[in-house]
Amino acid sequence: MAKRRAAADGEGVLIATYFAPLAADAPGAFSLLDDCAALTPTPGHDLILKTDPIREGVHFFSDADAADIAWKALAVNVSDLVAKGARPVGYVMALSFPEEPSARWLKKFAAGLKAAQTAFGLTLLGGDTDRAPGPLSVAITAFGEVPAGKMVQRGTARVGDRVFVSGTLGDAALGLALVKRPLAAIEMRLLSHQCDFVMDRYDRPTPRVALAPLLLAHASASMDISDGLLKDAGRMADASGVALAMEFERLPLSDAMTRALAANAERMRDVVAHGDDYEVLFTVPEAGVATFVSAARALPFRMTEIGVVKKGAGAVIAGADGKPLVFDKSGYEHF
Amino acid sequence: MAKRRAAADGEGVLIATYFAPLAADAPGAFSLLDDCAALTPTPGHDLILKTDPIREGVHFFSDADAADIAWKALAVNVSDLVAKGARPVGYVMALSFPEEPSARWLKKFAAGLKAAQTAFGLTLLGGDTDRAPGPLSVAITAFGEVPAGKMVQRGTARVGDRVFVSGTLGDAALGLALVKRPLAAIEMRLLSHQCDFVMDRYDRPTPRVALAPLLLAHASASMDISDGLLKDAGRMADASGVALAMEFERLPLSDAMTRALAANAERMRDVVAHGDDYEVLFTVPEAGVATFVSAARALPFRMTEIGVVKKGAGAVIAGADGKPLVFDKSGYEHF
């Protein structure tokens, strides 16, 4: 058979060198030599789709490490899939560069993607690269699978269900503060390893892949909290036609956040009203809580009950005095 | 059951007003109220995936009609699906606005998407909108279906196969020239309706949806020619490890291009080396040509045999004198 080759133009060479190795495990990616990818769905399953681009200046800084940019671009999409109960399968990616990227940058970027793929269990299937004025943009569309009809929706929480959240809240907000100003560590009273931890939480959010099967089995509603707990809980409440009543005292905090909060109570805002957490907010019917909690013990991250679903509307987080916490801005606004 | 509502934030209102109606036919789009979409694949079929964003200043002008931008954003992706033999099914879309778009712009944009959806036979499944500095960007990932394993690849042309192309070539190049400078019509000697025709070919490329089943049944290799015939034929040749030998005299031209070419022979370059055609280049084994040609008569657009697959490498278009046409630049360069 004749030997197949990549196109000998700029885009072809770039793809063959840096991106084709990331697609090696997917036969339907055709080594990125074709115009489209083919994905063979598992019989009896729905494909879950998410597209969430990230851009320099909005989602990351111009001095961000290329490997971190790649990781985050994939993580923000996989986080949504996982919150729907899906097993990540693959992704396509459109890269837009304001200028021709350096080989060093591309090598790091590809390494970051490779690390994220391995951690999250999915594979590059196809993509597009071009040059356009404006900020560097990484637009990923990710695919996951759930048994047919089983996607865990955000609008299906029911009165009486218990509200849970994965991991810890607000760490990425501290990480962002440190990325902007390293000396902020002093007023936060963070130890050195805590600084590393919160910056890692900002740069490399970890989708809760292992949680997905438990959500399928036990959750009544679920979503990831990329725009902050209060705002996203409000969205779940709106979509479900219920109220979510939570308590600040029950929210899961890392050691780092506990210290930062002791130093400055205004950090409460970072816990409930900052974006970038990429944890999962979900509800479990009361009758299923014990079974769920027992199953969740095997997970390598925390799972915390933080409130209850009630009749009414909106999301409320009560402070230590029982009164609702109010902030001037409840979470990240896209417009 | 409690009434479900869209989130009452800027992004939620925007989506509910302008985009949710476009997703009304897809139950898995959940009225765009959820974080992900679910797509139930037809049993025994592969999903074909394509992501190709368009950006202001690169793929369209800042004064372009919002409806045309929307149409083109969808068309460039569907064109690729169709060239692979796929039936278009759905798409997700990420919109990035440099500033808050006006209601008038959004209404037109949504109308253009609706028209394109109807023409191409697919439905909005989900998406993302945000504000970011830089040009307006419309990033669509489109999905189609083919029977499992049947995607028509670009790298499977065989020596002896005949080379075909759909429609007519170079019209979009004339359209672009008119968009840039209306008075170019005079030197092109175009009649008024021909000006409309070529501008429409530039603004509203029409994916050859009806061709897809015939490609599945008859084509050995196929791809769309978004970057110009000569360049994309070269890619097919490279990917297949063969040579594509074509003749300029056989290339299908519209009446408009025939006039423009008579007025200025340098327009040959527009026929073979300009992007934006969005026609399909494909090969048919010699033994299947008669059957294919007979079946293709039912199509509402032209199908033309323009050359043959030979041993060797690269794509060549011979001029009237039998010598290969050579251009300083063979097609659109992304880098």
pLDDT of A133 reads 81
As beta bridge partners, residue B162 has: B284, B308
For an interface test with B, the pick among A33, A45, A49, A236 (most B C-beta atoms closer than 10 Å) comes out as A49
pLDDT in tens, A143-155: 999 999 999 999 9
Whether CATH 3.90.650.10 fits A162-318:
yes
Residues B274 and B331: their CA atoms lie apart, in Å, by 5
Write out residues 177-236 of A within 8 Å (CB-CB) of B: 223-224, 231, 234-235
Contacts of B102 (CB under 8 A, 6+ apart): none
Q: For B151, which of A1, A36, A47 is closest by C-beta distance?
A: A36
CB A44 within 8 A of CB A147: yes
pLDDT of A130 reads 86
> A220: how many CB neighbours lie within 10 A of its CB?
20
Find the mean pLDDT for residues A47-56. Answer: 94
In a 13 Å sphere around the CA of B71, the CA atoms on its Cβ side amount to 21
Question: Domain A10-147: which topology?
Answer: 60s Ribosomal Protein L30; Chain: A; (3.30.1330)
Q: Residue B38 and residue A30: Cβ atoms within 8 Å? A: no
Q: Is B55 on the interface with A (CB under 8 A)?
A: yes
pLDDT of B1 reads 34
Residues A192 and A204: their CA atoms lie apart, in Å, by 18
pLDDT in tens, A280-314: 999 999 999 999 999 999 999 999 999 999 999 99
Write out chain B residues lying below 8 Å of A51, CB-based: 92-94, 126-128, 139, 141
Contacts of A15 (CB under 8 A, 6+ apart): A6, A32, A127, A129
The yes-or-no verdict on residue B19 having pLDDT over 80 is yes
Length of chain B counted residue by residue: 335
Residues B3 and A168: their CA atoms lie apart, in Å, by 31
Q: Where are the alpha helices (DSSP H) in chain B?
A: 10-14, 66-83, 103-120, 171-180, 184-188, 192-203, 212-218, 229-240, 255-263, 268-273, 289-296
Match 């509203």 to its residue by tokens: B204
Q: How many degrees, rounded to 5, is the angle at CA B324 between CA B321 and CA B330?
A: 135
Report chain A's mean pLDDT, rounded to a whole number. Answer: 93
Residues B294 and B289: their CA atoms lie apart, in Å, by 8
Å between B258 CA and nearest CA of chain A: 30
Å between A261 CA and nearest CA of chain B: 29
pLDDT of B286 reads 98
pLDDT of A5 reads 54
* Closest C-alpha among A219, A236, A221, A216 to residue A288: A219
pLDDT of A228 reads 93
Q: Residue B43 and residue A43: Cβ atoms within 8 Å? A: yes
The yes-or-no verdict on residue B4 having pLDDT over 50 is no
Report the percentage of chain B scoring pLDDT > 90.
83
Residues A158 and A309: their CA atoms lie apart, in Å, by 6
pLDDT of A57 reads 85
Find the mean pLDDT for residues A265-292. Answer: 95
Residues B19 and B93: their CA atoms lie apart, in Å, by 10
Task: Out of A12-16, A90-94, B116-120, B298-302, pick the least confident.
Answer: A12-16
pLDDT of A2 reads 41
Task: Out of A194-208, A283-297, B318-332, pick the least confident.
Answer: B318-332
Find the mean pLDDT for residues B162-184. Answer: 96
Contacts of A237 (CB under 8 A, 6+ apart): A157, A243, A244, A313, A314, A315
Distance between terminal CA atoms of chain A?
A: 54
Report chain B's mean pLDDT, rounded to a whole number. Answer: 93
Interface ipTM: 0.91
Angle between helices A255-263 and A192-203 (to 10 degrees): 110
The yes-or-no verdict on residue B29 having pLDDT over 70 is yes
The yes-or-no verdict on residue B11 having pLDDT over 60 is yes
Sheet containing strand A314-318, edge to edge, reads A221-224, A280-284, A162-166, A303-310, A243-247, A314-318
Contacts of B323 (CB under 8 A, 6+ apart): none
Q: What share of chain B is helix, strand, coil (3-state, %, to 5)?
A: 40, 25, 35
pLDDT of B57 reads 84
Find the mean pLDDT for residues A164-177. Answer: 97
What are the sequence ranges of the domains in chain A? 10-147, 162-318
Find the mean pLDDT for residues A196-216. Answer: 97
Task: Report which DSSP code applies to A136.
Answer: -
The yes-or-no verdict on residue A117 having pLDDT over 50 is yes
Write out chain A residues lying below 8 Å of B142, CB-based: none
Measured torsion, CA atoms of residues A290, A293, A297, A301, in degrees rounded to the nearest 10: -170
CATH number for the region B10-33+41-147 comes to 3.30.1330.10
Contacts of A50 (CB under 8 A, 6+ apart): A77, A80, A81, A141, A142, A144, B35, B36, B37, B92, B126
Å between B183 CA and nearest CA of chain A: 29
Q: Residue A34 and residue B127: Cβ atoms within 8 Å? A: no
Residues A46 and B37: their CA atoms lie apart, in Å, by 10
Find the mean pLDDT for residues A141-168. Answer: 97
Å between A187 CA and nearest CA of chain B: 32
What is the DSSP code string of A164-231?
EEES-SSHHHHHHHHHH-TTHHHHHT--HHHHHHHHHHHHS----GGGHHHHHHH-SEEEE-TT-HHH
The yes-or-no verdict on residue B68 having pLDDT over 90 is yes
pLDDT of A7 reads 53
- Cα A178 to the center of its chain, rounded Å: 20
Closest residue on chain A to B141 (Cα):
A141
Q: Residue B36 and residue A333: Cβ atoms within 8 Å? A: no
Whether the CA torsion A181, A107, A113, A39 is positive or negative: it is positive
Q: Residue B80 and residue A36: Cβ atoms within 8 Å? A: yes
pLDDT in tens, A59-74: 888 889 999 999 999 9
